[in-house]
Structure 1
Amino acid sequence: MAGEDTDHNSLRITLRDVYREQQEMKSLLEKLANNLPGTEEKLTDHEIRIRKLEMRVGWAVGSFGLLAALAPFLTRLIP
């Protein structure tokens, strides 16, 4: 048994195979990075969304403040 040839049941991976796979992964990663939006674009988009949200919150706070200020006068109108 010790003298049997077991090469036919094994898989041989050489450094050339590893290098080739690594190069393929590198090229795929570069393609993926080129297709993703840049950090600057994401940052600009995020800032725009935050500004819109801030404006909505500001309008809501102002509206509720006005309503709170007018509430005593409006309650006098109700008999």
Structure 2
Amino acid sequence: MSLLHECLIWPIEMPGLKKIVMLSIARNAKLSTGEGSISIQRLCVECGISDTAIRKFVHDLEVEGFFVRYPGKRGVSYRLTLAGRP
């Protein structure tokens, strides 16, 4: 887990639920590589948000350049880029 990545997300302006999803993704990333993997179901539990909303936020965050997805296990396998940071 990386609290450093999570701390980089807090100052970024974005809607509340979307930020919660990004914080959860960032917290699950490895500190050294920024890579991680988390299932959609796990994101639903951690964030308290529906499956449909999680999928929309994950897609939006990827399009906005906060992380790059790559083929992996089920769920979201990614490498943080944090392009939207201040």
TM value normalised by structure 2: 0.20
Bigger RCO (CA 8 Å, 6+ sep): 2
Higher strand share: 2
Structure number with larger C-alpha Rg: 1
